[in-house]
């Protein structure tokens, strides 16, 4: 499903039919599309937070690791 959305995204961005995207696009085009969409999403989130930095998107594992480091740091200070 993701590849279909990428083909659609390239077609919309460059005004090409999906069949033409399939014929002419390569992985570099997908890399640029991903970077451009990520950049647009960052600025969209930043604008909606009224100038504040957008909240970082952490995975559950990253959050658990941060929490574990915080708890272990607090235990060392209490002893």
Distances in whole angstroms, Cα of residue 43 to Cα of each of 32, 49, 56: 17, 10, 13
pLDDT (tens, 9 = 90+) of the chain, 79 residues, equals 668 888 998 999 999 999 999 999 998 998 898 899 888 888 888 788 765 666 677 889 998 998 888 877 665 555 5
Task: Spell out the residues 6+ positions from residue 16 whose beta carbon is closer than 8 angstroms to its own.
Answer: 10, 24
What range does the domain containing 46 cover? Answer: 2-78
Model pTM greater than 0.95? no
Q: Which residues of 24-60 are buried (b: 16+ CB within 10 A; e: fewer)?
A: ebeeeeeeebeeeeeeeeeeeeeeeeeeeeeeeeeee
pLDDT at 74: 62
pLDDT at 77: 56
pLDDT at 23: 93
Q: How many domains is the chain built from?
A: 1
Q: Tokens standing for 61?
A: 């594992």
């Amino acid at each position: 499903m993701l590849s279909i959305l990428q083909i659609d995204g390239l077609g919309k961005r460059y005004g090409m039919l999906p069949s033409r995207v399939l014929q002419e696009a390569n992985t570099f085009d997908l890399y640029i599309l991903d970077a451009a969409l990520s950049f647009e999403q960052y600025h969209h989130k930043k604008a909606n937070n009224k100038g504040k930095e957008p909240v970082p998107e952490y995975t559950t594992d990253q959050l658990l690791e941060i929490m574990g480091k915080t708890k272990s740091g607090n235990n060392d200070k209490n002893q």
